[in-house]
Chains A and B, each alone.
Chain A
Amino acid sequence: MDEQFDFKKKYRNILMMLMTGGILVSIAVILISKPGAARIWANVLLNNQYFLGLSLGAAFFLAVHRVSQSGWHTLLQRLPDSMTTYLPVAFVLMLLIYFGIHNIYGWTNNNPTDKVIEGKRAWLNIPFFFIRLVIYFAGWIVLTRMMRKNSLSLMTSADLKYHNRKILFAGLFLVFYGITVSASSWDWIMSLDAHWYSTLFGWYVLIGMFVTSLAFITLLIWFLKRLGYLKYIRPDHVHDMAILIFAFSIFWTYQWFAQYELIWYGHLPEETSYYITRLHHFKVIFYINLGVNFLVPFFGLITFNSKRHIGWVAIIAAIVLIGHWIDYWLLIMPAAAGDNAGIGLLEISMTLIYGCLFVYIVLRSLSIGPLVVKNDPYILESMNYES
């Protein structure tokens, strides 16, 4: 019960080495092939958004389960809990966008003849952009820290007040997150195509975030089980993670299609411009996105047995993680980098830097305490859980 994850020097060194390698390759690519400022900043934004999504989705996972007072996730709650500690780093990295804002956000350049953007000036102006950014992150960081501190208190004290507070914090987080995740996706992604709008966009991004973090939690379970931890996580818990990945992949497709179908049917020039950019220049990636994020989890996890083997679910989760990276790529790159966009060494190396940083922070936060919050009242329910 008191087993603790040992973040060995070996793993730290591997992560550090990969990260240094990523930095070196990125610098080399930038110096040699000169991809242009827009593409570099678009990469920064893409990875900021992707890894921010991983940690926000994890907080959402916890909050939803706590508000609904579900018991099954209690044994693995420290995994998403550790993922939320990346948020302060994400804040700093997102502030970096200040230096590249003119390269990727077209609306930041004054153009009085552009009536559409002039009409949106009340929302789309640089000072308010950063005020909102600070508000979003302040709320997310404060609320997730409160959630985390509270569940860490449950490891030492068996006072029921911590359990009740857990539900309260989760509720607060859900309300704040529900509003800000939509608004932040308009700010950071949708405003790349400042003339275009979609009312479904916030939902679409939210579900994408949730699916990626479900996949990442599954990969963490797989990794820790391989090292011999988490013996008490049985196929029943894996089954539930797989059900969630399966269901929310379908829901993601639903959102994708709902947005596509209406724009396709309506055929209004200001709306179709978004899909025309993506379909004309990046047709292959466009269909790969749909195939990888829908067909793979749908057929890969449809049977009973396939959901119960952690090895198989981890493979699907890894594919889904890559798939949603491609999804974010399609959201951001064609708009931010234009014809310059592509998937090359620069994208891979920059994602490697972020990925190593993210994994390092998550594993370090995981290693500071036992893997199980042993005073949680639902722990027995989770132990005996049958899906």
Chain B
Amino acid sequence: MKSRSYISIYFDDEVPLLEAVRILRDKKETIADVLSPFPVHGLDEALSIKRSRIPVGGFIFGALGAILAFGFQAWVFTVSYPLIIGGKPFFSVPTFIPITFEVTVLFAGLSMVAAFLIRSKLKPDIRFEPFDESVTDDRFVILVDASDEGNTLERVKSILSGINTLEIRK
């Protein structure tokens, strides 16, 4: 199996980074990854990354939580253990609302965290070796896939000649 090799392009600001991402994609270079110390506005659009589907999961689990909480209370207070509280009927919807609301929020919140962790393959014993420690501080890096034929390094250098890069290396 051929080992994968990358060209890394260093920046010290996000503005030239965004510009470089757009130009590279225009020239049909394959961008493997972009590393940045903080979320860059507009980077998702520039890389054509689809919007996260986590809110959908949040909605589904929230609805599930609402149904479960309401159903459980309805069952407990009418079938399993009916109690007269304050002279109210056994099935009194207003008393169920606060708990239904809380469980909805809990389910939606926890399910979104869980979905994020699973999709990002994050787990407690994860080993993470940073590509370059400076990207956790003040450097921005674009990784271009260089495993295809031809001299990618020269090509990338010529494409990005007009942009303020710090360093381009294999």
* Interface set of A (CB-CB < 8 Å, partner B): 257, 260-261, 264-265, 267, 302-304, 386
Contacts and interface: CB of A to CB of B under 8 A. Distances in A.
B86 A304 contact: no
Contacts of A303: 55
Contacts of A260: 94
B59 A264 contact: no
B42 A265 contact: no
A229 B103 CA distance: 45
A257 B42 CA distance: 40
Interface of B: 41-42, 51, 55, 59, 86-88, 94-95, 97-98
A303 B56 CA distance: 9
A280 B86 CA distance: 22
Contact of A267 (B42, B87, B98): B87
A287 to B, nearest CB: 12
Given A261-B97, A265-B86, A304-B51, A386 B59 contact: no
Give the interface centre of A264, A267, A303, A386 by most chain B CB atoms within 10 Å: A264
A267 B86 contact: yes
Contacts of B88: 265
Given A265-B86, A302-B59, A386 B42 contact: yes
A265 B94 contact: yes
Given A257-B97, A261-B98, A264-B94, 12 more contacts: A257-B94, A260-B94, A261-B94, A261-B97, A265-B86, A265-B88, A265-B94, A265-B95, A267-B86, A302-B59, A304-B55, A386-B42
Contacts of B51: 304
B86 to A, nearest CB: 7
A304 B54 CA distance: 12
A261 B51 CA distance: 39
A264 B94 CA distance: 8
Contacts of B95: 265
A29 to B, nearest CB: 38
A44 to B, nearest CB: 34
A265 B98 CA distance: 13
Nearest to B45: A386
Nearest to B97: A257
A264 B95 CA distance: 9
A303 B60 CA distance: 13
B75 to A, nearest CB: 21
Nearest to A303: B55
Contacts of B94: 257, 260-261, 264-265
Contacts of B86: 265, 267
B115 to A, nearest CB: 16
A95 to B, nearest CB: 40
A208 B87 CA distance: 33
B145 to A, nearest CB: 29
Give the interface centre of B94, B95, B97, B98 by most chain A CB atoms within 10 Å: B94
19 contacts: A257-B94, A257-B97, A260-B94, A261-B94, A261-B97, A261-B98, A264-B94, A265-B86, A265-B88, A265-B94, A265-B95, A267-B86, A267-B87, A302-B59, A303-B55, A304-B51, A304-B55, A386-B41, A386-B42
- Among all A-B residue pairs, the 9 with the closest Cβ atoms: A261-B94, A264-B94, A386-B41, A257-B97, A265-B86, A304-B51, A260-B94, A386-B42, A304-B55
A353 B53 CA distance: 47
A261 B95 CA distance: 8
Contacts of B98: 261
A264 B85 CA distance: 13
A386 B40 CA distance: 12
Contacts of B97: 257, 261
B39 to A, nearest CB: 12
A267 B97 CA distance: 18
Contacts of A302: 59
A294 B67 CA distance: 18
Contacts of B59: 302
A166 to B, nearest CB: 27
